[in-house]
Amino acid sequence: MKNQPLITVGMMDRQTEVTGSLNGNFRGDGSEPVSGRFSAKAEGGMIVLTDEAFRETARSPSIRLTARQGSTFSLFNVLIGVGFHWERREDQTFQGNLIFQIRRDGMMTVINEISLEDYLTSVISSEMSADAPMEFLKAHAILSRSWLLSGFRQKEKKAETPVRTEKLGTGEIIRWYDREDHDLFDVCADDHCQRYQGITKIVADRVKQAVQETHGRVITFRDEICDARYSKCCGGLTENFDTAWENKRIPYLASISDASGPHQPIETEEEASAWILSDPKAYCRTKDEGLLEKILPGFDRETKNFFRWTVEYSREELEGILREKSGFDFGRLKEIIPLRRGPSGRISRLKIVGSKRSVIVGKELEIRRWLSPSHLYSSAFLVSAQHPPCEENERFIFQGAGWGHGVGLCQIGAAVMATQRFLAEEILKHYFLGVEIKKIY
CA–CA separation, 292 and 136 (whole Å): 13
User: Which is nearest to 297 in space by CA: 128, 179, 438, 429?
Assistant: 128
By three-state DSSP, how is residue 428 classified? helix
What count of other Cβ atoms lies within 10 Å of the Cβ of residue 39?
15
Residue number, 28 or 413, with CB nearest to Zn ion: 413
End-to-end CA separation in angstroms for the chain: 6
Residue number, 142 or 234, with CB nearest to Zn ion: 234
Q: In the bound complex, what is the minimum distance in angstroms from residue 193's beta carbon to Zn ion?
A: 3
Q: How far is CA 387 from its chain centroid?
A: 38
Q: In the bound complex, what is the minimum distance in angstroms from residue 154's beta carbon to Zn ion?
A: 14
Q: In the bound complex, what is the minimum distance in angstroms from residue 355's beta carbon to Zn ion?
A: 39
DSSP E strands in 103-249: the ranges are 108-115, 164-168, 172-177, 187-188, 217-221, 224-225, 230-231
Residue number, 51 or 191, with CB nearest to Zn ion: 191
Residue number, 130 or 284, with CB nearest to Zn ion: 284
Residue number, 242 or 258, with CB nearest to Zn ion: 258
CA–CA separation, 138 and 121 (whole Å): 11
Q: In the bound complex, what is the minimum distance in angstroms from residue 79's beta carbon to Zn ion?
A: 14
Q: In the bound complex, what is the minimum distance in angstroms from residue 437's beta carbon to Zn ion?
A: 20
Q: In the bound complex, what is the minimum distance in angstroms from residue 45's beta carbon to Zn ion?
A: 25
CA–CA separation, 376 and 368 (whole Å): 5
Residue number, 95 or 257, with CB nearest to Zn ion: 257
Residue number, 193 or 336, with CB nearest to Zn ion: 193
Q: How far is CA 396 from its chain centroid?
A: 30
What count of other Cβ atoms lies within 10 Å of the Cβ of residue 212?
12
* DSSP letters for 333-384: EEEEEEEEE-TTS-EEEEEEEESS-EEEEESHHHHHHHTSSS--S-S-EEEE
Residue number, 20 or 406, with CB nearest to Zn ion: 406
Radius of gyration over every alpha carbon of the chain, rounded to an integer in angstroms: 24
Q: In the bound complex, what is the minimum distance in angstroms from residue 284's beta carbon to Zn ion?
A: 3
Give every CB contact of residue 214 below 8 A, 6+ residues apart in sequence.
Answer: 138, 141, 142, 145, 424
Q: In the bound complex, what is the minimum distance in angstroms from residue 160's beta carbon to Zn ion?
A: 21
Contact residues: Zn ion, CB under 5 A: 188, 192-193, 234, 258, 284, 410, 413
